[in-house]
Chains A and B, each alone.
Chain A
Amino acid sequence: MTPDAAQYVVPLPVMLPLFAAGLTLALWRHSRAQRIITVVTLSAVVAISVVLLVAADSGPVVVDVGGWAAPVGIDLVADRLSALMLTVSSIVMLCVLLYSLAQGVADDAAGDDASIPTAIYHPTYMVLAAGVFNAFLSGDLFNLYVGFEVFLAASYVLLTLGGTGERIRAGSIYVVVALLSSVIFLVAIAVTYAATGTVNLAQLSERFADIDPGVRLVIQLLLLLAFGIKAAIFPLSAWLPDSYPTAPAPVTAVFAGLLTKVGVYAIIRTQTLLFPEGHADTVLMWLALLTMLVGILGAVAQNDIKRLLSFTLVSHVGFMIFGISLATEPGMSAAIFYVVHHITVQTTLFLVVGLVERRGGSTSLDRLGGLAKLAPGLAILFFIPAMNLAGIPPMSGFLGKLGLVQEGIAQDTWLTWVLVVGSVVTSLLTLYAIVKAWNKAFWQTAPAEIPTDTRLPRGMVGPAAALVVLGLGLTVVAGPLYAYSERAAGTLLDGHSYVDAVFSKGDRGEGESNEVATDEPPLEETGGTDEGGDG
Chain B
Amino acid sequence: MNVIDTTPSLALVLAIGVLFAAGVYLLLERSLTRVLLGFILMGNGANLLFLVAGGRSGGAPLVGTTPEDEMSDPLVQAMVLTAIVITLGITAFVLAMAYRSWQLHGHDEVQDDLEDRRVARHAARNAPAFTDTDSEESGETLDDEAAQVRDETGTDSADGTDGTDGTDDAEGRTTREPR
Chain A residues near B49 (CB-CB < 8 A): 187, 190-191, 194
Check: B10 CB closer than 8 A to any chain A CB: no
| Contact assessment for A186 and B46 in the assembled complex, using a CB-CB cutoff below 8 Å | yes
Q: Which of A29-37, A158-166, A278-286, A330-338 contacts B (4 or more CB under 8 A)?
A: A158-166
Interface string of B96-126 (1 = CB under 8 A from A): 0100110011000011011110110010000
Interface string of A179-194 (1 = CB under 8 A from B): 1101100110111011
In this complex, which of A156, A193, A307, A364 has the most chain B Cβ atoms within 10 angstroms of its Cβ? A193
Tell me which of B27, B116, B170 contacts A166 (CB under 8 A): B170
| Contact assessment for B86 and A183 in the assembled complex, using a CB-CB cutoff below 8 Å | no
A188 to B118, CA, bound (A): 39
Closest chain-A Cβ to B65's Cβ sits at a distance in Å of 14
Chain A residues near B130 (CB-CB < 8 A): none
| Contact assessment for A160 and B153 in the assembled complex, using a CB-CB cutoff below 8 Å | no
Closest chain-B Cβ to A131's Cβ sits at a distance in Å of 12
Check: A90 CB closer than 8 A to any chain B CB: no
Chain A residues near B1 (CB-CB < 8 A): 511
Closest chain-A Cβ to B149's Cβ sits at a distance in Å of 14
Check: A392 CB closer than 8 A to any chain B CB: no
Q: Which residues 336-394 in A have Cβ within 8 Å of B in the complex? A: 362, 364, 366-367
Tell me which of B27, B93, B94, B170 contacts A180 (CB under 8 A): B27
Number of A-B contacts (CB under 8 A): 125
Chain A residues near B86 (CB-CB < 8 A): 146, 149, 153, 182
Closest chain-A Cβ to B25's Cβ sits at a distance in Å of 13
| Contact assessment for A153 and B97 in the assembled complex, using a CB-CB cutoff below 8 Å | no
Check: B147 CB closer than 8 A to any chain A CB: no
| Contact assessment for B100 and A163 in the assembled complex, using a CB-CB cutoff below 8 Å | yes
A193 to B104, CA, bound (A): 44
A487 to B174, CA, bound (A): 52
Check: B63 CB closer than 8 A to any chain A CB: yes
| Contact assessment for B90 and A179 in the assembled complex, using a CB-CB cutoff below 8 Å | yes
Tell me which of B42, B54, B97, B116 contacts A171 (CB under 8 A): B97
Tell me which of A166, A169, A179, A245 contacts B110 (CB under 8 A): A169
| Contact assessment for B46 and A303 in the assembled complex, using a CB-CB cutoff below 8 Å | no
| Contact assessment for A183 and B42 in the assembled complex, using a CB-CB cutoff below 8 Å | yes
| Contact assessment for A301 and B43 in the assembled complex, using a CB-CB cutoff below 8 Å | no
| Contact assessment for B42 and A197 in the assembled complex, using a CB-CB cutoff below 8 Å | no
Interface string of B141-154 (1 = CB under 8 A from A): 00000000000010
| Contact assessment for B79 and A142 in the assembled complex, using a CB-CB cutoff below 8 Å | yes
Main secondary structure of the interface of A (DSSP, over half): helix
Q: Which residue of A lies closest to B24 (CB)?
A: A180
A414 to B175, CA, bound (A): 54
A303 to B116, CA, bound (A): 11
Q: A186-B43, A191-B49 are in contact. Are A172 and B172 (CB under 8 A)?
A: no
Number of interface residues of B (CB under 8 A): 53
Check: B76 CB closer than 8 A to any chain A CB: yes
Q: Which residue of A lies closest to B155 (CB)?
A: A165
Check: B169 CB closer than 8 A to any chain A CB: yes
Number of interface residues of A (CB under 8 A): 47
Closest chain-B Cβ to A462's Cβ sits at a distance in Å of 25
Chain A residues near B52 (CB-CB < 8 A): 190, 194
Q: A171-B97, A179-B90 are in contact. Are A189 and B79 (CB under 8 A)?
A: yes
Chain A residues near B122 (CB-CB < 8 A): 303
Chain B residues near A169 (CB-CB < 8 A): 101, 110-111, 113, 153
Interface string of B129-166 (1 = CB under 8 A from A): 00000000000000000000000010000000001100
Interface string of B1-19 (1 = CB under 8 A from A): 1100010000000000000
A301 to B50, CA, bound (A): 45
| Contact assessment for A197 and B2 in the assembled complex, using a CB-CB cutoff below 8 Å | yes
Closest chain-B Cβ to A476's Cβ sits at a distance in Å of 38
Check: B173 CB closer than 8 A to any chain A CB: yes
Chain A residues near B101 (CB-CB < 8 A): 168-169, 172
| Contact assessment for A304 and B115 in the assembled complex, using a CB-CB cutoff below 8 Å | yes
Closest chain-A Cβ to B160's Cβ sits at a distance in Å of 16
Check: A452 CB closer than 8 A to any chain B CB: no
| Contact assessment for B89 and A153 in the assembled complex, using a CB-CB cutoff below 8 Å | yes
Tell me which of B46, B63, B82, B94 contacts A190 (CB under 8 A): B46
A451 to B82, CA, bound (A): 52
Q: Which residue of B lies closest to A143 (CB)?
A: B82
Q: Which residue of B lies closest to A176 (CB)?
A: B35
Check: A429 CB closer than 8 A to any chain B CB: no
Q: Which residue of A lies closest to B93 (CB)?
A: A156
A175 to B175, CA, bound (A): 21
Q: List 13 A-B contacts (CB under 8 A).
A: A153-B89, A153-B90, A166-B170, A169-B101, A169-B110, A175-B90, A176-B39, A183-B42, A183-B46, A186-B43, A242-B115, A304-B115, A511-B1
* B contact set with A: CB distance below 8 Å: 1-2, 6, 23, 27, 32, 35, 39, 42-43, 46, 49-50, 52-54, 63, 75-76, 79, 82-83, 86, 89-90, 93-94, 97, 100-101, 104-105, 110-111, 113-116, 118-119, 122, 153, 163-164, 167, 169-176
* A contact set with B: CB distance below 8 Å: 142, 146, 149, 153, 156-157, 160, 162-169, 171-173, 175-176, 179-180, 182-183, 186-187, 189-191, 193-194, 197, 199, 242, 245-246, 301-304, 307, 362, 364, 366-367, 511, 513
- Besides the contacts A165-B104, A189-B50, A246-B170, what 16 more A-B pairs have beta carbons closer than 8 Å? A157-B93, A162-B172, A163-B100, A164-B172, A166-B169, A169-B110, A172-B111, A173-B113, A175-B93, A190-B53, A194-B6, A197-B2, A246-B172, A302-B119, A303-B118, A367-B164
